[in-house]
Chain A
Amino acid sequence: MKVNPDIVIEDSSWMRGVQTCVADSYGSQLMRCPVHLSIGQELLWAIIKQYKEFQLKVFSSHRGHLPYLSLDGDLRRYIAELHLHPDGVSGGKLGSMHIKSPKFGHVTSVPIVGSSIPLAVGASYASKYSKHSWLSVAHFGDGACEEGILHESLNIASVKSLPTLFLCENNGYSCTTSLEKRQPSKRMARFADAACIKSCTTSTASLESLINDVSEAIHYVDVTGKPYFLEVECYRLYEHCGPSIDKDLGDRTVGEYLEALNRDFVRANLKSDAFKLGYDQCMSLISEYSAKNAIRLQSAFR
C-alpha cells in the first residue's frame, strides 16, 4: 500500500495541536492524573494510522496518547478520560497512563516500563492460531530495552516464530536521564540481533525513509509471520511527565534542545489549519470537562 505524505503531515499537525492544547490547559489542575505527552514524536503514529487495514493490535506504555490518537482519535472520550470523567474511554477509571481503545486496536497501555511487551507476543500467538489474523505491535521506548522482559519476549517470539512488530521509539531519555548514562550503545536494534530477529533503525528526521521503513517492517511481519524489530530514533520536546517544554532538565542542554527543535520535521512542515483544528477541538472539550470536573470535585471533596 502507498502512504500519502501529505496526509501524514496533516495528521501529525493535528496530533500536535491536540497534545499542545492538553499541555497548555494542564495548569488548571482539572486533569488530575500524570500526563506523558509525545510532542515531537507524532510522525511515526501518523504513518501507522495509514495501516489500520492490517488489523493492528497495539500494546503500549505510559506514553500512549499517540497510538490512541492514531488508531481511535475520538477526542471526547480522550479528553474525558484525562479528566477521569465517566465519559472517558475507560469510564474515567484509568486516566492518562492507561489511555487506550481496544475497539480500534489500541489494546492496552501499561505504565510499568516494558510490561506490555509480552502481551503483544501473546496476542501474536493467538493470531497465529486464529482464523481472523491481526498484526500485534509491542510499542515501547529505549528505557524498556533495559528491562529483562524485553529480552524474554524477543527470545520467545523468535523461537516460536510469532508475528510481532517490536516498535521501539528511541527518544534518548528515560525521564531526564540520557541514554549514554544507561546503556553502552545508542542502538536499540542490537537487542534484536541477539534473538536472531530482523531489524531496522530509522528516524523521524526524514519522512520518506520513515514511511519506507515502517512499510517494510509491517509487510515483513504480515508476509513472513515472523517478528521484526523497528527502532525509530526521535526526540521528545516536552518533559517526561507534565505540560512543560523540556529544554534543560536533567541531562538535557538548551543547545541540544534547540538543535532537535530545528530538526523537527513536523514543526518545519506544520499544517497550521490541521494544528488549529486539533487545538480548538481539544480546547472546546477541555472547557466542557473542566467545568464538569470543577463542579464534581467541589461536590466530592467538600
Chain B
Amino acid sequence: MKNSAHISNLTRRFLESSSESRLFCEGVQDSFYGTIPNSLSQEHCHKLEELPISEAATIGLVTGAAIFGIRSIVCYQRVEFGLLALEQLITNASKTKYLSCGLQTCPFLLRMVIGRGWGQGPCHSQSFEGIWSSIPGIDVYMPATSSDYTAIFNKLETTDSPILSLEHRWTHLTNVDTTVGCQFINSVVTVVSSSYNSIIATKVAVYLAHNGINIDVVHLLSPSDTLDRVRTSVAKTGRLITMDIGTVRQGLGGELIAQLAELGAEYQVPPVRLGCPFEPASASPEEAFLHFASAESLLNALCDLLPSSSSQINNARKELASDAGGTASDTPSSSYLGPF
C-alpha cells in the first residue's frame, strides 16, 4: 500500500467524522494523485467541493467559513499555485486569531505538492518552505512517511490555526511501511532532513552501516520542531549535514545552523548545507538530477567530511546503486510513470 492510499483513507475519515468538514480541490474527481476518495456516501458527498482556478479566493473562502465553524482541506496541485494565495494566507488566515483577540479560529489544512524530476522544470518543483515558515500563525509540515501524514490529519482535528502540508510528490509513491531517521551510539555524522530527503538519507544510512560507518539521520516533520534531537546528536558526532528540499540560501538548514549556534553547538568541522542552488530548476533530466539534494550529493558530502572513510562510503555508493538500479535518476524508482 502506498502513502497516497493512506492519505485517501485519512481524508475519508476526516470528511465523514463531522458535518462541518469539507474538502476543496480543483479537479476533485481526479483524486489528487490518489490521495482523496473518488466519492463519499450520499450523506457526505456534498463535502467534496469542486473549485474554480482561484487560489486566493479559496483561501479567503475557507478562512471566512472557518470563522463560522467549517473545518476544511484545500488541495493545490503544486506549491507554486499557492503563491497566488500568499496574500490571503498572510493577511487573513494566519492572523485570524490575533485580529479577533482569540475569539475566532481558522482551522484548515492546505496541501500543496512539491514536484521533482520528469520535466517538472522551474515552475513545478519549488517548495519555498523558507517563505511559508516565515509566516507567524501557520504550522508548516514536510511529511515523509505514513505516520507523518497521520500526525498531520490528527492535528487537523484539533487545530485552531491553518496547517500547511508541503507534500513531496514522491512521498505519495512511498510504501506506508517506510520509516525514516536512525541513531547509533557511535555515529560520526548527523544528517538533518525533512520530506523526501529523509527517505534518501535513511536509505544512505542503511548502506553505510553495512560498510561499518554509522550516521544519525534526524527527520524534522516541521521546521518548527524542537531541536533537542539534533543537539544531542551533534554533541555526539561533531559533524552536521543539513539537506534542504528547497534552496540552500534562506533555507531551513541555515536557520537550523543559526539556532544551533545560539545554543552553543560545537563542531569538529564546519557544518555542510545541501539543497538546491540559488537558481531555477531545469526540466532536463540530467540537470534536474544535479539540482536537488540526492543520495549522490549526500555521499559526496560524507566523503568530504570523512576523508579517511571514503573507500567504505564509495562501497556503500556502489551497493546502493546496484540495488536501486543506479543512484542518479530524475524519478523515484524505475517503476515511476508520468505524466505527473
Give residues in A with beta carbon < 8 Å to B.
59, 90-91, 93-94, 98, 102, 107-108, 110, 112, 115-127, 129-130, 136, 148-149, 152-153, 155-156, 159-160
CB distance from A265 to the nearest CB of B (A): 33
A122 touches B101 (CB 8 A): no
13 residue pairs of the A-B complex, CB under 8 angstroms, read: A90-B99, A110-B92, A112-B87, A115-B92, A118-B63, A118-B88, A119-B61, A119-B63, A123-B67, A126-B64, A126-B65, A130-B69, A156-B51
B61 touches A93 (CB 8 A): no
Seen from chain B, the residues whose Cβ lies within 8 Å of a Cβ on chain A are 19-20, 49, 51-52, 54, 56-70, 87-88, 91-92, 99-101, 103-104
Given A115-B87, A123-B67, A123-B68, is A108 in contact with B99 using a C-beta cutoff of 8 Å? yes
Contact status A152-B101, CB under 8 Å: no
Report which of B61, B68, B100 forms a contact with A118, defined as CB distance below 8 A: B61
Are A120 and B68 touching (Cβ within 8 A)? no
Q: Known: A110-B91, A125-B65. Contact between A98 and B99, CB under 8 A?
A: yes
Contact A120 B64 (CB under 8 A): yes
B180 to chain A, nearest CB (A): 36
Known: A118-B60, A156-B51. 16 other contacts (CB 8 A): A108-B99, A115-B60, A115-B87, A115-B92, A116-B60, A118-B56, A118-B61, A118-B88, A119-B64, A121-B64, A122-B70, A125-B61, A125-B65, A149-B88, A152-B54, A152-B57
Give the nearest-CB partner of B64 in chain A: A122
Q: Which of these, A119, A155, A159, contacts B60 with CB under 8 Å?
A: A119
Contact A123 B64 (CB under 8 A): yes
Q: With contacts A90-B101, A110-B92, A112-B87 known, is A149 near B56, CB below 8 A?
A: yes
Expressed in whole angstroms, the minimum distance between the Cβ of A184 and any Cβ of chain B is 23
Q: Inside 8 A of B92's CB, which chain A residues have their CB?
A: 110, 115-116, 119
A122 touches B61 (CB 8 A): yes
B60–A153 contact, CB under 8 A? yes
Whether A123 lies near B65 (C-beta < 8 A) is yes
CA A187 to CA B267, docked complex, whole Å:
67
CB distance A107 to B52 under 8 Å?
Answer: no
A94 to B101 CA separation, bound complex (whole angstroms)? 10
Measured between C-beta atoms, what is the minimum distance from A134 to chain B in Å?
A: 8
Q: Are B67 and A122 in contact (CB under 8 A)?
A: yes
The chain B residue with its CB closest to the CB of A111 is B91
B residues less than 8 Å from A125 (CB atoms): 61, 64-65, 70
Q: Is the contact region of chain B dominated by helix, strand, or loop, or is it mixed?
A: helix
**Alpha-carbon distance between A116 and B96 when the two chains are bound, in angstroms:** 12
* The one of A108, A112, A136, A152 that contacts B52, using a Cβ cutoff of 8 Å: A152
Chain A residues near B68 (CB-CB < 8 A):
122-123, 126-127, 130
Q: Does B70 lie within 8 Å of A155, measured CB to CB?
A: no
Chain A's nearest CB lies how many Å from the CB of B52? 6
Bound state CA distance, A136 and B65, in angstroms? Answer: 11
Find the B residue at minimum CB distance from A119. B64
Chain B residues within an 8 Å CB radius of A136 = 64
CA distance A102 to B92 in the complex (A): 15
B70 and A126 within 8 A (CB):
yes
A116: B residues at CB distance < 8 A? 60, 92
CA of A126 to CA of B65, assembled, Å: 5
Complex Cα spacing A116 to B64, Å = 9
Which 7 residue pairs of A and B lie closest in terms of their CB atoms, listed nearest first? A122-B64, A118-B60, A152-B57, A126-B68, A119-B64, A152-B54, A122-B65
Contact between B99 and A149 (Cβ–Cβ < 8 Å)?
no
Contacting residue for A159 out of B52, B66, B88, B104, CB 8 A: B52
Say how far B338's CB is from chain A's closest CB, in angstroms: 31
Asked whether A107 lies within 8 Å of B67 as measured between CB atoms, the reply is yes
Q: Are B59 and A118 in contact (CB under 8 A)?
A: yes
A93 cross-chain contacts in B, Cβ below 8 A: 101
Q: How far is the CA of A127 from the CA of B61 in the complex (A)?
A: 12
Q: Which residues of B contact A117 (CB under 8 A)?
A: 57, 60
**B160 nearest CB across to chain A (Å):** 15
CB-defined contacts of A115 to chain B, threshold 8 Å: 60, 87-88, 91-92
Least Cβ–Cβ distance between A90 and chain B, in angstroms: 6
CA distance A238 to B265 in the complex (A): 59
- Complex interface: chain B residues within 8 A of A159 (CB): 52
Chain A residues whose C-beta falls within 8 Å of the C-beta of B70 in the assembled complex: 122, 125-126, 129
Q: Is the CB of B101 within 8 A of A121?
A: no
Chain B residues with CB under 8 Å of A124's CB are 64
Given A90-B101, A119-B92, are A152 and B56 also a contact pair (CB < 8 Å)? yes
Whether A112 contacts B91 by the Cβ 8 Å rule is yes
Contacts of B101 in A (CB 8 A): 90-91, 93
State whether B66 touches A122 (Cβ < 8 A).
yes
Q: Which residues in B have their C-beta under 8 angstroms from that of A130?
A: 68-69
Given the complex of chains A and B, what is the CA–CA distance between A8 and B49 in angstroms?
Answer: 42
B69 — which chain A residues lie within 8 A by C-beta?
126, 130
B residues near A91, Cβ cutoff 8 Å? 101
Q: A110-B91, A130-B69 are in contact. Are A118 and B52 (CB under 8 A)?
A: no
Closest residue on chain A to residue B56 by CB atoms: A149
* Chain B residues, CB < 8 A from A90: 99, 101
Q: B67 — which chain A residues lie within 8 A by C-beta?
A: 107, 119, 122-123, 126
| Complex contacts, A152 vs chain B, CB 8 Å | 52, 54, 56-57
Query: Least Cβ distance of A170 to chain B in Å?
Result: 22
Question: Which of A119, A124, A126 has most B Cβ within 10 Å?
Answer: A119
Partner of B61, one of A107, A110, A129, A156: A156
Nearest CB on A from B43, distance (A) = 13
A5 → B minimal CB distance (Å):
33
Contact among A98, A123, A156 with B57 in the assembled complex (CB-CB below 8 Å): A156
Per the bound structure, the CA–CA distance linking A120 and B65 in Å amounts to 8
